[in-house]
Each structure stands twice: as C-alpha cells, then as structure tokens.
DNA sequence: TTGTACGCGTTATCAC
DNA sequence: GTGATAACGCGTACAA
C-alpha cells in the first residue's frame, strides 16, 4: 500500500500524489479529487520510516523518565501525561526511554539511532550525566527541572528555592520560630536531585533571613517515611511548631504521625509546602501549598522543544514557574504553649481526638 | 556518520560493515576488530529509519493509554512503567498514544504509518472501538484487560469477577450478611469499562451463591467520591457491615468516611477488595485485598506481544491473573449489634475515637 | 505533471 | 573470507 500503488490506481505519477498530499506544488482539483478518493478507499498513509529517512526528521520526541525502580511518583506521572498530551496536540509522537544513566541502551538508541527530533528529560540532577550525554549528541533537548548551571540549556522549572522561602515567610509571619523542612529522600539528595537541593538552599536562606530556627530532614518518599520523619522531628526538635514539606508522597504519613502525636492541624501544628494539587487537597485539612503546575510545565516543555527543533541556533529558552501559594487550612498562628498537647511524644499511642473547632 | 563513513575509515566495503554488525556472513576477527574500533570511535549506530524501512519492522511497540483527561491513576501508571521497563529489557522502544477513540490521530499514525510492530492497549472496554480499529489494521496487539468476547484476541487480565467473588466469600465466612460493592465511576461503567462490569457480575454471582444481600454503588475515582459513596451506603443500607471495593483511588475517602461515622475497622466494619499493593498498605488499617500484579501483567503483555509479532499466525495467547487475597487487618467477624457505634450516621460530626484495641 | 536522483542500511550476486 | 556493485524499501523534491 505504498505511494506507487496510489499513483497507479489514480493514473498519475508518484510525485503528483506526493504534491497533492503536501500541497507544495499546485495540483488540479480534478486530479487531487481522484487521488484523494483512492487514498480514502485504501486508507493510505505514508510510511513513517520512509518519510523520516527522506526528511531527516521523525516527528517524534523522546521523553527520558527515571527507571520505574520503586515506582513512578504521581508527580512524575503528571509530567508524562501532560507531555504526551501536549505533544499529541501538535501531532508529535512520544518515545519513552527509561534511563537512569548516560549509557542506557534505550537512550543511546534514541540519540544515535536518530529516532527522535528532540528529547525532554525530567527528574534532573544538579550534575546530570543524561543531560550531558544528550547535550554532547547535539540533539535538541529541554529539561523539566534544571542542572546546576543551566544558562546554556533549554529548561522549564519551578522555583523551589523561592517557594520554600515563601512558605517559611508565611509561617514566620504567623509567629512560628522553629520550622522543619521535610525534604526528599537521602538517596535522592545524595544523587544531587535538583529540586531537593534548591529547596534546601531556599530554606537555609529564608530561615537566616527571618531569624527563625530551621532544621532539615531528608525523608523517604512514601507514607512510612513521612511517619518516621515526623516522629524524628518531634523527638529531636520538640520546639518545632511548623513543617515545610516538598515531599508529597510522604504527606499521608506526615498527617498520620502528627495526629498520632496528638496534634491538631492547624491549631497546634502548621504544615505548608509544595505538592501536586491533588495531594494538597487530599491532605487533612487541605494543605496550604504551592501547587506544582505539572500540566503547564509539560505543555511548555513541549513548546520550547518545538521551538528549539525549529531553530537549533536560537538562544536557549527558559521558563521558571512560580505558582502562588494557595492558602488552605493547614497553617495557623503559632500555638500558645498551653495549646500544645500535654502528652505528645512520637511513640505515644493515640488516645482520642478533640472535636473540630466550630 | 553513515555506514559508508565507517567503511571508508576502516578500509572495507559498506557491505562488510553491515555483515560484521549483523553476523549474517562470517567476517575475520581482524577485520571485525578494525570495524568495531571505528564504530566505537565515532559512536556510530545505524539510522533507525533506514533500517526500519529496509527491514519492514521498527523495533518499536505502541502503548495506547487513555487521554490524561482528569489524570492517569496510579494503577494505570504502574502499567505504563512496567510495560516500558519490560520493553526496554528486550530492546524495544515504546511509543505512547493517548487515544480515547478509534480515529485518534496519534493511533492512526501508529497503525497506518507503520510506526510500530505491535500495540498494547489498556483500560479496555467491553466493546472497545480502539481494539476494533487495531484488530482491523492487522497490526499485532495485546490488551491489558479484555473485551467482552476475547477468545480471538491476545490479552492479559486479572480475574475481577472471581476475585470479587472471593472477597464476598471471605466476608460471608466471617458472618457478614449485608455487603456493599464499591465499584468504579458511573461514567466508566456507562462506557462499558471492563473490570467494573466483571466486578459487578462476580459480585452478583457471589452474593446469590452465598445467600447474602448485596448492593452495588458506583463511586467516583477519587477521595471525595469515596467519602460520598460510603455516606450513601451507610444512609441507604444501614445494615451493611462490610464493603468490597475495586476502586482504589477512593480508598482514602472510604476510610475517612467510615472513621467519621464512628466506625472502627475491622471491629465494627470490614473492608476488602482489589487494589495496588501500595494502596492496600497505605489503607488504615492495611487492607485485606488482592494486590493488582501490575508489574507482572505489564511484563507478560510485552512477552505475549513479542510472541505475537514473531509469529502472527500463532493462536491467540492469554494470561489470566488470579493473585491471592492478602489477609491484612481490615476484615473481621461481623460485629455483634452492641459493638456498632450508637450514634453512627453519615452526616454525624466526628466526636471522638475509641482507643485502639489492645 | 512526469521522471528520477536521493536518503541509508540491508542483502543478493559475482568475483577474487 | 572479503570486496565491489547494485537493487530494494518509500516518500520527497528538483529538473525537465
């Protein structure tokens, strides 16, 4: 079912069919009609490989995701979903590459096999060997997140440092003097995970600026990790009255551990942070947080990549998102000492919970 | 950087390079070494489009996912992750196609543009137009989930009907006489979503067989939906003492609503169901459930597809998963009437919670 | 409009 | 065992 077949049945030359389809040369209406009719009949569509070979582009972009290892987090998934949707809207296909290192076979195939016109990378490390590999290959790419020194590369990111700083500001304004940062897992931090490090820096800057005391805790990215982490905070920093968290997967555990310790949010303890909208709303009570605009970020990443592909020599484009912090119900003014539960201790069994304030 | 370049630098013929790479003709060790050296130096890899054009296969599979619409659920995400990983292990690339209907442009590109050697579809409906479209195209495909009449197609699925039946059995054995099924959303059911319908059938069969009373509730796939649904169950079927749920996204809401109504799981109310391992473990208390083996299912889907591609005429392969129900802590014997909370009512404000049983 | 060279890797053919 | 040559797959775009 190739273009020659169409040409034969329509009684024209192969090139005429091609021009009729592309419109790059005028074709008489009558001829075009005959050709279109045959095409519809046979449901013909040009062979993508032949076209890619000739045109030198594949109309495909690669999306490098972390190897599923433990599992993809819902935020990562949101990015995947939004990138795929945005790409589909402009008729680009998305090839997935689960690559953790710079020599993963699937990444090599994408790049040196010229399977894609461009690449989007996510879950970026401060020094990222995958980014280095793609950069070296010369294939246009955009990162969701950014490396330590990102000026020369195309990226879209969220301003973790500033947003964490704003959370600290918000809590300091409410009178909190002892704030803890619940950051991402030790393994991720050790790998140089970029949002974690920028959150760390922003936190340090903000607590210094506001003159409050702050301690950082690296927390496994799951519910159990959140429980352990809060227990540790309450045990080692008992004066803490508020948490800033960038670890959304730990949120249910954070909530559970605080409840178990007898805390009532926000009356006796405040929590703010950065999280996907969904997680913020499912927190109990709804979490005061900067909602990760994953949909917009994925969309913009595709737009930037399309620009970059169209003009490889254009100066690198960037887009730093700074979503507002949505005030929900998880932050309040610092508790008077008497309002703190008398019996709280990380291991204390749950006894009761007071009625909700009216 | 084409094969001619390699040949020139290695001082051999183009065909010799090709043969050295494919092994389809013996090449002396010395020549092979020289060629390999040049290849390593230049990091050469054959152009995927040219190869695909010549060989008639792309070494790529398509994965049709539902349009991200509201959002992909974590179970869907697990399937995507496991399929991509499994494919990468056998050096297959995965092209994502967010397609809800049978004429989505991206699905058409995959199929008639011959971009893929085979297709995996997920979130299958009883009558699925995407499946029909792919079947008609002649491209090999495997479904995760299955259509109403699946004998002729390749699929991997979980036995929702039997597993829901087992949950009912388990609850009936514990003495429960009034059981509710928390099914997927009304919209999904109306669309003919296959797991939902098989769950419905299995439930109806099991309650009849066991002579218990059962009612089905279709529940939105989110936390708020779970809360509303449980409220409705408690209001309209107050004799209900146990729930079977196949709606994992609603689980946190189910838990919250039961707590709010004064129930203590499993002492005064039992919950069992089907859910991803993660969700089951995060339920409070951990949920007695059949864990969706998404990793195994994705892997087997890729294996079946590879088989199907290798031998298009082989009889259709199937694999029905029937994971055991993991007994955790959310089911118990039916409460004596006195053990039921005196004040429970769906809208009752939370007052207190009794201490955990020791 | 038509004829045809081209993009690039694979493979068959024939010769050394 | 290896080299050289050419045909092939299929759409594109230039020259005629």
Measured CA to CA, the distance from residue A61 to residue A306 in angstroms comes to 9
Dihedral pair phi/psi, residue A74, rounded to 5°? -70, -25
Window B32-51, strand C contacts by Cβ < 7 Å: 46-47, 50-51
Measured CA to CA, the distance from residue A211 to residue B27 in angstroms comes to 73
Q: Nearest CA to B272 among B343, B199, B186?
A: B199
Give the per-residue pLDDT at A338.
Answer: 54
Q: Return the nearest residue to C8, CA–C1'.
A: B50
A60-158+294-321 maps to which CATH number? 3.40.50.2300
Give the per-residue pLDDT at A132.
Answer: 96
Q: Nearest CA to B223 among B182, B187, B171?
A: B182
* Strand order, beta sheet including B270-275: B213-218, B178-183, B242-245, B270-275, B288-291, B325-326
Question: B23-54, pLDDT tens digit by residue?
Answer: 888 888 888 898 989 988 888 889 999 989 88
Q: Map out the domains of chain A as residue ranges.
A: 3-55, 60-158+294-321, 160-292+325-357
Cβ-based burial of A349 (10 A; exposed 0-12, middle 13-18, buried ≥19): exposed
Question: Taking a contact as any Cβ pair under 8 Å apart, which residues of chain A between 100 and 139 contact chain B?
Answer: 104-106, 108-110, 112-115
**B358 touches A at CB < 8 Å:** no
Retrieve residue B164's tokens.
Answer: 């829901």
B3-55 maps to which CATH number? 1.10.260.40
Segment holding A299, helix H or strand E: helix A294-310
In DSSP terms, B120 is beta-bridged to B63, B142
Measured CA to CA, the distance from residue A12 to residue A186 in angstroms comes to 66
Is the Cβ pair A96, B98 closer than 8 Å?
Answer: no
- B281: chain A residues, CB-CB within 8 Å: 223
**A57 touches B at CB < 8 Å:** no
Q: Nearest CA to B343 among B335, B352, B334?
A: B352
- B350: chain A residues, CB-CB within 8 Å: 353, 355-356
Residue B41 CA and nucleotide C10 C1' are separated, in Å, by 23
How many Å is the maximal CA-CA distance in chain A? 92
Q: Please list the ranges in chain B whose pLDDT falls under 50.
A: 339, 342-358
**B224 CB inside 7 Å of strand D:** no
Give the per-residue pLDDT at B69.
Answer: 63
A232 Cα to chain B: minimum distance (Å): 20
Measured CA to CA, the distance from residue B265 to residue B260 in angstroms comes to 12
In DSSP terms, A61 is beta-bridged to A94, A118
**A26 CB inside 7 Å of strand D:** no
Total count of residues recorded for chain B: 358
Question: Taking a contact as any Cβ pair under 8 Å apart, which residues of chain A between 292 and 351 contact chain B?
Answer: 349-351
**B68 touches A at CB < 8 Å:** yes
Retrieve residue B331's tokens.
Answer: 């089911």
Q: Nearest CA to A79 among A156, A150, A148?
A: A156
Residue B142 CA and nucleotide C12 C1' are separated, in Å, by 36
Give the per-residue pLDDT at B355.
Answer: 32
Cβ-based burial of A356 (10 A; exposed 0-12, middle 13-18, buried ≥19): exposed
Segment holding A111, helix H or strand E: helix A105-112
To test the contact with chain B by mutation, choose from A113, A220, A224, A257 the residue with the greatest count of B C-beta atoms within 10 A, namely A113
Half-sphere exposure of B96 (CA within 13 A, CB side): 30
pTM of the predicted model as reported, rounded to 2 decimal places: 0.90
Cβ distance A242 to A215 under 8 Å?
no
B160-292+325-357 maps to which CATH number? 3.40.50.2300
| A2 C-beta neighbours (distance < 10 Å), count | 12
Q: Please list the ranges in chain A whose pLDDT falls under 70.
A: 68-72, 337-358
Q: Three-class SS string for chain B?
A: CCHHHHHHHHCCCHHHHHHHHHCCCCCCHHHHHHHHHHHHHHCCCCCHHHHHHHHCCCCEEEEEECCCCCCCCHHHHHHHHHHHHHHHHCCCEEEEEECCCCCCHHHHHHHHCCCCCEEEEECCECCCHHHHHHHHHCCCEEEECCCCCCCCCEEEEECHHHHHHHHHHHHHHCCCCEEEEEECCHHHHHHCEHHHHHHHHHHHHHHHHHCCEEEEEECCCCHHHHHHHHHHHHHHCCCCCEEEECCHHHHHHHHHHHHHCCCCCCCCCEEEEEECHHHHHHCCCCCEEEECCHHHHHHHHHHHHHHHHHCCCCCCCEEEECCCEECCCCCCCCCCHHHCCCCCCCCCCCCCCCCCCC
Dihedral pair phi/psi, residue B3, rounded to 5°? -65, -25
Fold agreement (A60-158+294-321, A160-292+325-357): yes
Measured CA to CA, the distance from residue A280 to residue A289 in angstroms comes to 7
Give the per-residue pLDDT at B183.
Answer: 98
Q: Tell me the pairing of strands B288-291 and B325-326.
A: antiparallel
């Amino acid at each position: 079912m190739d273009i020659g077949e169409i040409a034969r049945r329509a009684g024209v030359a192969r090139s005429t069919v091609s021009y009729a389809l592309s419109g790059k040369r005028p074709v008489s209406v009558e001829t075009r009609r005959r050709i279109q009719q045959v095409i519809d009949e046979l449901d013909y569509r040009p062979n993508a490989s032949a076209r890619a070979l000739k045109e030198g582009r594949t109309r495909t972009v690669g999306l490098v995701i972390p190897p599923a290892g433990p599992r993809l987090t819902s935020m990562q998934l949101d990015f995947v979903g939004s990138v795929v949707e945005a790409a589909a809207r402009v008729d680009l296909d998305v090839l997935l590459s689960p690559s953790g290192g710079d020599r993963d076979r699937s990444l090599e195939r994408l790049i040196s096999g010229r399977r894609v016109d461009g690449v989007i990378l996510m879950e970026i490390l401060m020094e990222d060997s995958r980014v280095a590999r793609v950069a070296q290959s010369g294939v246009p790419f955009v990162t969701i997140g950014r490396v330590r020194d990102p000026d020369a590369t195309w990226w879209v990111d969220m301003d973790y440092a500033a947003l964490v700083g704003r959370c600290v500001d918000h809590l300091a304004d409410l009178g909190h003097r002892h704030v803890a940062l619940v950051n991402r897992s030790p393994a991720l931090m050790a790998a140089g995970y970029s949002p974690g490090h920028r959150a760390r820096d922003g936190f340090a800057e903000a607590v210094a600026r506001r003159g409050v005391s702050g301690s950082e805790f690296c927390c496994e990215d799951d519910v159990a990790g959140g429980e352990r982490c809060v227990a540790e905070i309450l045990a080692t920093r008992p004066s803490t009255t508020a948490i800033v968290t960038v670890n959304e997967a730990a949120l249910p555990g954070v909530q559970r551990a605080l409840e178990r310790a007898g805390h009532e949010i926000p009356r006796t303890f405040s929590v703010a942070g950065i999280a996907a909208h969904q997680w913020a709303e499912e927190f109990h009570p709804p979490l005061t947080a900067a909602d990760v605009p994953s949909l917009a970020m994925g969309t913009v990443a595709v737009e930037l990549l399309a620009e970059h592909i169209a003009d490889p020599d254009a100066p690198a484009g960037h887009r730093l998102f700074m979503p507002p912090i949505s005030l929900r119900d998880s932050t309040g003014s610092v508790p008077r000492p008497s309002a703190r539960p008398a019996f709280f201790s990380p291991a204390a069994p749950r006894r009761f919970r007071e009625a909700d304030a009216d």
